[in-house]
């Protein structure tokens, strides 16, 4: 995979972005996977909490990594539960700002009301700095920037093409009414830097409501060093912003500025 250098990524970020009075962002997160570093020990969560408690002063929580994997070989078939190491979950007092960290993993979250990219970016940079200082993990093999938007339309019914540029649809001649949908698309950027995972889904609510979930993910065959991480995050965020604007119509934008 071709890689964009830190300098090139920094040059592609622009400030000419559209800002909304009422952005539809329900949750945003930046997920970073590290390689190398010191062993995650009993005292690591406490050291992270003390280093980051100005942003996350609430009582920290602990949990275990877990996931489900589908086995599809002749020797073993079915679902298996996979467990990993411990995670520490840090929160602000109102729980709108969150951080999850474990061995080789750092995730910075923000929940509605969205704090704005500048503040969110600042928290990510601080978290990366403190995490690498404590764990000594200074190489990154994967970064994801994900924004989950919930678009509510204050009308009894809507036509999806009025709000989304490429909505899921059924054949026009089919005598049915669309009641719900979930559509996921995964695409690779032509420059090979990242992939875009876009999910559009309906939500059960009092008014027509839809999720637009955009996840821009970059994986590196040669891990990034510390100086390249934040410029790369900026670049992935820039691509997410473009994908969002290209997925919605002007009528949708009017809802965010109402």
Q: What is the dihedral of CA 71, 76, 81, 82, to 10 degrees?
A: -80
Q: What is the pTM of this model?
A: 0.85
Residues of the chain with pLDDT under 50: 1-16, 67-72, 80-83
Closest CA to 89 of 79, 101, 81, 72: 101
Burial of 163 (0-12, 13-18, 19+ CB in 10 A): buried
Where exactly are the structural domains of the chain? 20-36+137-256
Closest CA to 152 of 13, 55, 10, 23: 23
Q: How many angstroms separate the first and last alpha carbons of the chain?
A: 42
**Cβ neighbours of 77 (radius 10 Å):** 10
Which tens digits make up the pLDDT trace of 156-185? 878 889 999 998 887 877 767 667 889 999
């Amino acid at each position: 995979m071709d890689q964009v250098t830190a300098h090139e990524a920094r040059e592609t970020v622009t400030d000419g972005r559209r800002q909304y009075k009422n952005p539809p962002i329900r949750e945003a997160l930046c997920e970073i996977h590290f390689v190398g570093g010191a062993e995650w020990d009993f005292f690591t969560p406490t050291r992270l909490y003390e280093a980051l408690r100005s942003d996350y002063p609430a009582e920290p929580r602990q949990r275990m990594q877990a996931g489900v994997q589908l086995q599809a070989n002749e020797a073993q078939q079915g679902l298996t539960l996979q467990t990993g190491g411990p995670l520490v979950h840090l929160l602000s007092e109102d729980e709108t700002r969150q951080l999850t960290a474990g061995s080789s993993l750092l995730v910075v979250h923000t929940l509605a009301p969205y704090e704005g990219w500048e503040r969110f970016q600042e928290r990510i940079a601080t978290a990366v700095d403190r995490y690498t200082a404590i764990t000594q993990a200074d190489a990154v093999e994967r970064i994801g920037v994900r924004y989950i938007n919930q678009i509510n339309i204050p009308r009894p019914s809507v036509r999806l093409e009025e709000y989304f540029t490429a909505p899921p649809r059924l054949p026009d001649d089919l005598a049915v009414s669309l009641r719900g949908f979930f559509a996921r698309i995964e695409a690779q950027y032509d420059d090979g830097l990242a992939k875009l995972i876009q999910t559009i889904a309906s939500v059960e609510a009092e008014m027509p409501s839809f999720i637009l979930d955009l996840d821009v993910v970059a994986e590196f065959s040669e891990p990034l060093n510390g100086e390249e991480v934040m410029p790369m995050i900026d670049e992935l965020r820039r691509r997410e912003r473009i994908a969002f604007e290209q997925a919605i119509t002007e009528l949708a934008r009017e809802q965010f500025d109402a």
